[in-house]
Amino acid sequence: MAGVLSGHPAQTTTSDGIWPTTSVLIGMRRALARNSPGGRETVLALRFAGLLVAVGTLLLGLVGPGLDRSVDLLAALILGWLVGWVMGPIMVRGAGQGLRPEWFALLPVPPRRLAAGLLGASLVGVAPALTLVAFAAMPVAAGRFGMLPVLVALPAMLLELLVVVLLSRVVVAAMTGLLSTRHGQELGGLLFAVVIALASGGWSLASVMGQQLAQGPGPALSTTLRVLPSGWGPVAVGAAARSDWLLVLGPLFGLAVLAGLLVLAWAWLLPRTMRQPAGQAPRMARRRTPTGHAPRMARNRAVTGRAAARHRLLPAGPTGAVVGKELRVWRRDPARLLLLLLAVLISGLNLAVPAVIFHGPAALPWAGLAATLIVGMGTANMYGDDGTALWLTRMTPGTERADVRGRQAAWLLVVAPATVALTVAVTALTGQGWAWPWVLATLPAVLGGTAGLTILVSATMPIRQKDPGRRTGPFDTSDDPSAAGALIGRQYLMLLLAALTAVPAGAVVLAGAARHEPILQAAGVLAGIATGVLLYWWGGRIAARRLATRGADLMDLLNLGPQARTRGTGSYSGRPRPAGERGVPSRTGPEPGRPLPRGKAALRGALLTLGILCIVPQGLVPIGFNLLGVDHQVKVWFAARYLEESLQAPAAAAFIVVGMLAILFARSISRSR
């Protein structure tokens, strides 16, 4: 230690120029990527997927039939990458290996040099390299129109890359600044919710765009694609092919100016993000009251006296206490409020957009059901989302049942009234009378079933998340990309399970409809209520028993992460825990991570990616489309939809089987270590 310190006494002062700072920062980013816990397979899987998409883009660049169509296609492809660059860091905030400017706030490095260094470091790496491969579609496509277009395409390619990366940095910096205030967090959450909902409903938009591109884009789409900066490079290439030199220089110059402006914007934002690091903003100043509203604060003073009265509304004793706590959390935690908002937006947009585009209001009565499923997905990790707070239940023995039942009751109290009202209102207003037996039968089943199954999944397979007190915003739940991936898996499992709860009631209604027996249809409602009650009771029972008998394992898992269970068998790799981890885990000792060899990890990542792609978009989605009667024009990239109608279902089923095999194979690789 002393040798390291005294051996290079000049180390701290050598990085005089921009390049040394940049190279140190690049090295630091590599080290961070290397040390990211358990994330290696995820990272490799992402890189593999990225490579596929990049090569796909490059090849697509070749297929544009004419010059104009090629320009449109290239512009659309670059726009896609731009959206990815902007959305990526927002959606997986904290999961990336980026350098956070606030780390360098105390260094005696001039801000401008640091800004340049950080920009330089963000231009070096796998993601920019993959993007460059994708953008090489421009010179490759230009090759068909002569040598001069290629010469224009090369700077256009580099400038587009620069703009895309810079834009991404500026958005991240702006978001960091935004998320450091309470109102900013709320605003950011709202923006995020809208963007997610749009993205989730975006498949119908994408399908319209894809059709247009395939058949020759309409003037509106073509103009939009070319006016956006992502289209400027392709426009310049197209102009070079027509020897329209003004239209070559204009867009290229525009891209350079835009890059310059983005650098300025970033240099302006950088010191602000450094001054107010999101994690350490003065908390007391940030939020003073439970709700952040002054009138509420005044009211709260009176409420203290009324607290006992309010408790009387709830069942007395431990369960009532948990319900009371949970209802407060639903009202106060931005993450939960955001979940409710997302549920409404996603279900609304996903059902309303196709209803408008394809003129099919038949899907609308399911909005309440869909919203319930989405809330269920979001609450599939209730115990993990509370961080290590389970310790309180652990130290208050005998209250496991109260905890589980209280959470279930609060969930139902929050979700049921809204979804029932939504379902009734939408079904009545859109005049979809046929839907009544269906929604009335399935909604109670799904409500009760999800309330039972979320708590069951939460208690039996929790995923460790960052302690809520240390989060910088509603999405900052984990520094570990593999946990983020596991959580997504859990959420889709929950979606599947929750959707299955509708099957018995749905089957009864279907039988009634097929035989034209209204009484049998009405019996579906009873079946739905019975399913709901039964699953509510059963899920809670298993969860409570699990908490009582396996509570210690659960606590270990939430406290130390999944590796804690392989104790005594693994070889300790000596990797430190990620920076910023506070509390027991870092004190009790580093977790033993044992990564797969690189080649196997890559294979496993590739197989998992392949498996998910086969099962979800190539298998379940086309089947769902067929069941819902989605327009046959909607093909996008769902391979099965390109086949003859009788072959579509078998093809999708085959994709699901292949996907499952791939995932099984991937699992066998990780087991054989």
Among 11, 14, 223, 588, binds another protein (CB under 8 A): 588
In angstroms, what is the minimal distance from the CB of 56 to another protein?
A: 41
Q: Among the candidate windows 20-28, 163-171, 315-323, 595-603, which touches another protein by CB under 8 A?
A: 315-323
CB of 89 to another protein, least distance (A): 25
Instruction: Between 143 and 318, name the residue whose CB sits nearer to another protein.
Output: 318
User: Site residues for another protein, window 449-478 (CB under 8 A)?
Assistant: 467-469
Rounded distance between C-alpha atoms, residue 409 and residue 43, angstroms = 39
Q: Which helix (H) or strand (E) holds 122?
A: helix 111-123
Q: Choose between 349 and 459: whose C-beta lies nearer to another protein.
A: 459
Q: Of 317 and 417, which CB lies nearer to another protein in the complex structure?
A: 317
Q: Hey, which residues between 553 and 582 contact another protein (CB under 8 A)?
A: 553, 555-556, 559-560, 563-564, 566-568, 570-573, 582
Cα(663)–Cα(609) distance, rounded to whole angstroms? 9
As a whole number of angstroms, the distance between CA 499 and CA 449 comes to 9
First to last CA, the chain: 35
Question: For another protein, which is the closer residue by CB, 113 or 311?
Answer: 311
Packed helices 67-91 and 182-215: angle between N→C axes, nearest 10 degrees:
160
**Could you give the residue ranges of the DSSP H alpha helices within 472-631?**
481-500, 503-514, 518-560, 584-588, 598-615, 621-628
Give me the least distance between CB of 304 and another protein, in Å please: 7
Rounded to whole angstroms, how far apart are CA atoms 405 and 460?
A: 15
Closer by beta carbon to another protein, 163 or else 555:
555
250 or 590, CB closer to another protein?
590
Which of 458, 195, 483 is closest to 341 using CA atoms? 195
Site for another protein in 146-205 (CB under 8 A): none
Nearest to 385 by CA among 492, 518, 293, 474: 474
Q: Which is nearer to another protein, 65 or 568 (CB)?
A: 568
Nearer to another protein, 594 or 632 (CB): 594
CA dihedral 534, 536, 540, 543 (to 10 degrees): 90
Q: Count of residues binding another protein (CB under 8 A)?
A: 75
Binding region for another protein (CB under 8 A) out of 106-114, 483-491, 547-555, 644-652: 547-555
The angle at the Cα of 654, spanning 648 to 655, to the nearest 5 degrees, equals 90
Q: Is 318 in the site for another protein (CB under 8 A)?
A: yes
- To which residue do tokens 């997302």 refer? 342
Number of other CB atoms surrounding residue 581 within 10 Å: 19
Minimum distance of another protein from residue 276's CB (angstroms): 16
Q: Whole-number minimum distance, CB 396 to another protein, in Å?
A: 5
**Residue from 254, 590, 595, 617 binding another protein (CB under 8 A):** 590
Task: Kindly write down the DSSP assignment for every residue of 191-215, as one continuous string.
Answer: HHHHHHHHHHHHHHHHHHHHHHHHH
Give me the least distance between CB of 329 and another protein, in Å please.
5
Interface mask toward another protein for 487-526; x: CB under 8 A: ----------------------------------------
Please report whether residue 541 would count as binding another protein according to CB under 8 A: no
Closest to another protein by CB, 147 or 309: 309
Closest distance to another protein from the beta carbon of 337 (Å)? 11
Whole-angstrom distance, CA of residue 562 vs CA of residue 585: 12
Q: Are the beta carbons of 546 and 382 closer than 8 angstroms?
A: no
Least distance (Å) from another protein to the CB of residue 280?
Answer: 12
Q: Which of residues 276-305 bind another protein (CB under 8 A)?
A: 283-284, 286-290, 297, 300-301, 304
How is residue 561 annotated by DSSP?
-
Question: Is residue 252 close enough to count as binding another protein by CB under 8 A?
Answer: no
Select 272 or 394, whichever has its Cβ closest to another protein: 394
Among 110, 111, 433, 583, binds another protein (CB under 8 A): 583
- For position 35 contacting another protein by CB under 8 A, the verdict is no
Residue 378 CB, nearest distance to another protein (Å)? 16
x/- mask, another protein, residues 389-408, rule CB under 8 A, reads x-xxxxxxxxx-xxx-----
Of 377, 521, 400, 394, which Cα lies nearest the Cα of 450? Answer: 377
Which residues touch 644 (CB under 8 Å, ≥6 apart)? none
Least distance from C-beta 33 to another protein, angstroms?
22
Does residue number 388 form part of the binding site for another protein (CB under 8 A)? Answer: yes
Nearest CB to another protein, comparing residues 16 and 553 = 553
Task: In whole angstroms, give the CA distance from residue 507 to residue 457.
Answer: 25
Q: Which is nearer to another protein, 579 or 657 (CB)?
A: 579
**DSSP assignment of 330-399, as one string?**
HHH-HHHHHHHHHHHHHHHHHHHHHHHHTT-GGGGGGHHHHHHHHHHHHTTTHHHHTTTTHHHHHTSTT-
